[in-house]
Structure 1
Amino acid sequence: MGNSLRKATTSGSANLTNRERKYVRQTWQAFCQANQDYGVLIFVEFFQRYPSYLPLFPPFGDLPLKDLVCNHRFRAHGYAVGHQIAAVIDTLEDLDVMTELVRKTGVNHAAKPGLKPEHFEHLLHVILETMQTRCPEQFTQDVIAAWIKLFDVVMAVTKPEFSADTAPEATGSKEGVTDDTLRNTGGCSSSTFSQLCTAPSSKRTSSLSEFTAAPSSVSLPTVPLGVRQQSLREPARSESQSTDAESAVDLRSRP
């Protein structure tokens, strides 16, 4: 691993204390135990919040929101991303490995048409809000602050891979992350994440509220592999909160 990457990782993650790493691990474990399909749940929330991002995911991007949870490709993607998040958290003590995992994810996505760093940023925001909504008693301000620090590091490592010089990682370059990058996250909205520490629960989206009402012990429906895909969805809709709220689908388990 390149010296600059190692140096940046050590410097940037030094702000995450042992106690904060413990907060992250414990709350992630609690969230996963309470929600077996945690990766699928996160992506359901993500696309309800940002429905216009669906076409960026060709394997299931032509499906309407209401059909996502019963599509085996969508669920497989959710599981895969959930395991990637878990791998990052499992390697918090091994900073070189953690950063390399994040970097490779950035490299792989930088090569995909249409994907941008802000898509990662929005996903991280949804992850934090989803966990906070599902496990409200555990997400104190200190816990939220620990997750914000981790996500700031994730964005600081990810963003350089989308630049003109580093995006074709066919190049294998590991020099895109510097000490200054991790200290000054180059536009990563840490202020956006920080708003979660003080935002009242009434500010959460209706889609998150719907999920909160569902018992956390209930998993998402079992997937029939022969689910028929519907016709091509309409062009990307507005990302405004009002539109998202109108298009939100109640995916709670029904008796």
Structure 2
Amino acid sequence: MFRHKSSFRSVILTKLTENHRQVIKNSFNIFKKNGVPNAHNIFLRMFKEYPDYKYVWNQFKNMSDEELSQTPLLWKHATAFVFGLERVIKTMDDQEMMILMIHSTANQHKSWGLKKEHFFAMVHLITDILMEEKGEPDEKYAIMEAWESFYDVLGTLVEY
């Protein structure tokens, strides 16, 4: 699908509008106030809702829900998740840098065997946390749409 850099560039800029990027930046500022605990909670919820996702990460595949909630490995993963997300979001004001970061992030996740479906699971998990943190229902649609676009871009790039 993406034979040229301009192809994935076009996908990123078409699906991830300036408005989406602004909503993501604003909502991430709320998320990161409790960033690592929020991310930890996301992964606990993800593994509970999608137990087979544990097999994507070898270190988690044989752990019970209780073991997952207590292992330092999940806290380490949550920390890496927050820093990785922040690394991409900080570039959203610079289109060229953002494109490079998103492409790099997608390639990294592809090398770990993640698929588009794994990214879609994150949409409702992260927006649920944001709604708990922010609690303004009138913004929920914009937040969900923006994060869905972001994860759709990552998932699309991972598939190709």
- Please, what TM-score do these two structures have when normalized by structure 2? 0.79
Distance 1:110-1:146 versus aligned 2 partners, 3 A rule: closer
Deviations 1:59-113 (A, max 9, x none): 2322111121221111101110121111221111223332333333333333346
Residue identity over aligned pairs, in percent, reads 21
Deviations 1:201-237 (A, max 9, x none): xxxxxxxxxxxxxxxxxxxxxxxxxxxxxxxxxxxxx
Counting matched residue pairs gives 158
Distance 1:15-1:118 versus aligned 2 partners, 3 A rule: closer
Tell me whether 1:62 sits opposite 2:57 in the alignment.
no
Distance 1:56-1:14 versus aligned 2 partners, 3 A rule: closer
* Partner in structure 1 of residue 148 of structure 2: 148
Provide the alpha-carbon RMSD of the alignment: 2.7
Q: Measure the CA separation in 1 of the matches of 2:50 and 2:33.
A: 26
Distance 1:132-1:13 versus aligned 2 partners, 3 A rule: farther
Equivalent positions of 1:57-96 (< 5 A) are 57-96=57-96
Are the aligned partners of 2:116 and 2:158 in contact in 1 as well (CA < 8 Å)? yes
SS at structure 2 position matched to 1:37: helix
Distance 1:130-1:80 versus aligned 2 partners, 3 A rule: same
* Partner in structure 1 of residue 118 of structure 2: 119
Code of the aligned partner of 1:60? F
Gaps of at least 5 residues in structure 1 are 161-255
Tell me whether 1:25 sits opposite 2:25 in the alignment.
yes
**How far has the Cα of 1:16 moved from its partner?**
4.1
Higher helix share: 2
* Partner in structure 1 of residue 130 of structure 2: 131
* Partner in structure 1 of residue 8 of structure 2: 8
Q: Measure the CA separation in 2 of the matches of 1:52 and 1:154.
A: 21
